[in-house]
Structure 1
């Protein structure tokens, strides 16, 4: 693989929100422990990432209310178990509801450590760390 190609398969993911300003404040606080920040903004849309826009929150372009997808969730890759723990605590402090406290989930794979929350709009959001020796 070329060194200039991204590791991730996905370019970006977007979630609709009915509380744009509150969603910005929520994700500013929740994504900071993962080393993410606002990297791009348009009217009604904000992108977060470590280096480039990977995760967007936005008001729906069709003007209809945002809705939560049943069976849909977003998983953020943490760089350590401590980042997963900090993400979870930041999310709860920012008004999220817990959907699964940080911990190992061997049924997802032995190296898996993660947590789940519901954001202010009810979207299921995860932070996870895949602990592989030497990497």
Structure 2
């Protein structure tokens, strides 16, 4: 089970502006600890496992933060409309568009995703995969 994911950032305030533009709408609460950001999902009643936390920190080795080539973190939205809204909010908060929200031929007919990069180059996906919504082939 994944317990947490961490990305590096050189400017925590800039990273907070970016991630706080969409993570609270996905249910995350922000906790700051020693200048780092911890986005936490609350445990739901009856939930047997904790969902992964998402941390934003300055690299421990003191070197500049860099993005991993081929690394991507995906956050699940409630529906296609929320994917569009959160993608736009993240871009307005300093992110870079890496692929407008929409369907991709490579994935299932209901997988709706928008891609972006945070201010440090980390690739982020925001997706919905609800079979009750119109699909790619509709």
Unaligned runs of 5+ in 1: 1-8
- Alignment match, 1:61: 60
Unaligned runs of 5+ in 2: 44-51, 133-138
Take 1:11 and 1:106, find their aligned partners in 2: how far apart are those partners? 31
Deviating runs (4+, > 2 A) in structure 1? 32-37
- Alignment match, 2:14: 22
The correspondence of residues 8-47 of structure 1 with structure 2, limited to 5 A, is 9-38=1-30, 40-47=31-38
Deviation (angstroms), 1:22 = 1.0
- Alignment match, 1:132: 131
User: Structure 2-normalised TM-score?
Assistant: 0.81
Take 1:49 and 1:108, find their aligned partners in 2: how far apart are those partners? 28
Deviation (angstroms), 1:113 = 0.5
Deviation (angstroms), 1:41 = 2.3
Take 1:72 and 1:87, find their aligned partners in 2: how far apart are those partners? 20
SS in 2 for 1:108: coil
Q: Residue deviations 1:76-103, cap 9 Å, x none?
A: 1111112211111101111211100111
- Alignment match, 1:4: none
Take 1:122 and 1:98, find their aligned partners in 2: how far apart are those partners? 11
RMSD of aligned alpha carbons: 1.9
User: Structure 1-normalised TM-score?
Assistant: 0.83
The correspondence of residues 99-110 of structure 1 with structure 2, limited to 5 A, is 99-110=98-109
Take 1:25 and 1:92, find their aligned partners in 2: how far apart are those partners? 11
